[in-house]
Structure 1
């Protein structure tokens, strides 16, 4: 009896990914505005101070230029009561921001930014920056509603901060606005891909985790499938296929197909999946596939040496092979084989087990033509074509798969269309 490794307690939902997002981005650079009408006029923005506030703001500016924290604090304390207009209050807030930057005090920076934005006269050219950092600080304080509001304003003002979409998406996810968060994530993903950039893995990982929490399993796999385009590393393939395996129910045939794709993507990274795969292939009478599978596990050191259970399976299946491979060619050409859909398909499976992918294709075609399970044999024909290097044929076959293997067909298309993965940091799986 085969072992379902995915049923073990330690293997609950490998795709729950919990990467830590940085709470805050870089400290905002001090703005270049100076409280002098002529300087602002050169930029197209005028924020003039009142006559009574002039001496105070001059001291603030001089202290800031000198990077004298004590002098700036004194100037603010003395000057704030003399600020009588909205413009004056804007400059008080501006120099509060400068004080926070000099002190590396995020709370003071956030206070200054909020006060500046509250005046309603922030120069248009500064709205993107100030709203982004205000939202960034709010995110760090876990005030996600405020963070979303500020980050939306930053985006509307044209902010190009690389972390904006991630922070905005997660602000919505943290306030249980899952659909809004996913909408932002998907738009950001496609925009970045269109620009020739690889999207941040956070744009996939955090929505996936939120969808798992909401038990929206089909959407989990939708997003995991999209993620494979940009992060096709073996451990990411394993997370995705493990999740699909969890949802395969009691279908041994589908489970076997999932594990075959895991093998094809080099994502069989732990012993238990080899044990389940070997058990399923043994029950399906595919000794060639079992023996070659265990050899891969040994070569990659995933299967230890010795391994009593898998060594026993390999020995028994090796003996069972006999002269099977040498007789397959003649057997495959018999009319009685080609006219019986189950026999034709099973013979195709045996061919694949021995690595004879191109030879398996006519047998799968015969299984379909003889009235066999079209979804099953068309899918496996696509796999054989893909493994044989017939990309066009594989794509055409997978496009016809509309039944329970549709998700697997989509993932095979991702594998076909995705270049070999380069090393990259990806979100780790939890569990097995």
Structure 2
């Protein structure tokens, strides 16, 4: 019990001095019976004089709470010790519950937490409610701080990771949100939890809206690792392809990954693929692209564009196959890597993954070529062969504008095993 210089001044005070709270509808806090955990100590007469009449109104059935709200600031200013602060905060919370004003509820909860008198087993829950109310108010930094404190205090209900991530998305901070998820996901998995791919999908949408290419690559890699299905690849690679400002000879290796993951769904993607690959050089590969585009309804057999490309590849396919062995011999004899790149490209279009890998690796070793391109395609050929560890090591060496594409190929190797 609390001690005062006046013996009868405690009536009504204790009845308002605690609560049981539950969240409903996002952040509506409801009060219940006063628990026995409140340990009141010394309350000043000034505090009691200000508190008591307000508490009587707040606790009264049908009391005119709105009429005493202006007096709450005075009560807070008179609260000098922990018990007084706890009581003041609790009174504000109850008043907020009765008026339905979330800012008042939040203030009451925060004052109670600041008092240090909230029972340890309730601290995480109080912080969780503060975070929810702050979120509803659009105060996302404060929400994140409170929700993170709740998690640190042991709160693991109601998807705290997803809600904290949402504080970043609502602030249009794709980079910060993805970094947060990247940090949290290992712990979630280690604790036996599941990663909700919708967390990451929201990050991907935020990255797209912000036209943040790097964040879209991060989100795609995280998304397919969390949920390695075709839809994840579709969602991610469509955004990466839309945001990436690539020249054709760079984009083609992204489109090759899209073809491998069956995520080419637009006619323009098939046309871009054909233009970037050049049907005269990659005839066998483009023949497959044409066939898929025709089957999916992106081309018509009487379309002049389709007929022209198909005529080109039909004339070149047999010649490419016949010429491949001599190209390899020429590459082996050449002092630099240019001939090896040519041979590697032809073998790649023939789906001779092992032979193409050897040629691209030779090109990188001999030099005189774009080393990042040669290294990227060496890794791609290793991916096709299921050489996961080797592919990831190779692709990690790609820098510059091709690095993002290399990372996505490496992610494919990780989740698909080739």
Fold match, TM over 0.5? yes
Matched, 1:142 2:138: yes
Correspondent of 1:297 among 293, 299, 314: 293
> Match for residue 35 of structure 1?
34
Distance apart, 1:176 and its partner CA = 7.5
> Match for residue 281 of structure 1?
277
Correspondent of 1:311 among 287, 306, 310: 306
Correspondent of 1:46 among 31, 39, 42: 39
> Match for residue 199 of structure 1?
195
> Match for residue 64 of structure 1?
none
> Match for residue 15 of structure 2?
none
1:123-149 CA distance string (max 9 Å, x none): 332232223223212322323354345
Distance (whole Å) between structure 1 residues aligned to residue 67 and residue 243 of structure 2: 67
> Match for residue 10 of structure 2?
none
> Match for residue 402 of structure 2?
405
Distance (whole Å) between structure 2 residues aligned to residue 402 and residue 266 of structure 1: 26
Distance (whole Å) between structure 2 residues aligned to residue 143 and residue 391 of structure 1: 45
Distance (whole Å) between structure 2 residues aligned to residue 409 and residue 93 of structure 1: 56
> Match for residue 73 of structure 1?
62
Distance apart, 1:415 and its partner CA = 0.4
Distance apart, 1:25 and its partner CA = 6.0
Distance (whole Å) between structure 2 residues aligned to residue 171 and residue 91 of structure 1: 27
Could you tell me whether the CA contact under 8 Å between 1:35 and 1:47 is conserved in 2? no
Distance apart, 1:291 and its partner CA = 0.7
136-145 or 220-229: bigger deviation: 220-229
Matched, 1:158 2:154: yes
**For structure 2, which runs of at least 5 residues remain unmatched after alignment?**
1-23, 76-83
1:247-292 CA distance string (max 9 Å, x none): 7656332121121111112111111100110122225611111111
Aligned length: 371
Distance apart, 1:322 and its partner CA = 5.0
> Match for residue 189 of structure 1?
185
Could you tell me whether the CA contact under 8 Å between 2:341 and 2:374 is conserved in 1? yes
Change (3 A) 1:271 1:197: farther
SS at match of 2:264: coil
1:45-94 CA distance string (max 9 Å, x none): 536999x979x88x96xxxxxxxxxx84349799999xx96666555456
Correspondent of 1:263 among 250, 256, 259: 259
* TM-score, with structure 2 as normaliser: 0.70
Could you tell me whether the CA contact under 8 Å between 1:232 and 1:418 is conserved in 2? yes
Could you tell me whether the CA contact under 8 Å between 2:279 and 2:312 is conserved in 1? no
Distance apart, 1:417 and its partner CA = 0.7
> Match for residue 130 of structure 1?
126
Could you tell me whether the CA contact under 8 Å between 1:290 and 1:317 is conserved in 2? no
> Match for residue 371 of structure 1?
367
SS at match of 1:154: helix
Change (3 A) 1:97 1:317: same
Which structure carries more relative contact order (alpha carbon 8 Å, separation 6+)?
A: 1
Matched, 1:394 2:391: yes
Change (3 A) 1:195 1:271: farther
Distance (whole Å) between structure 1 residues aligned to residue 387 and residue 91 of structure 2: 69
Matched, 1:115 2:108: yes
Please give the root-mean-square deviation of Cα atoms over the aligned residues, in Å. 4.4
Distance apart, 1:416 and its partner CA = 0.8
Distance apart, 1:382 and its partner CA = 1.8
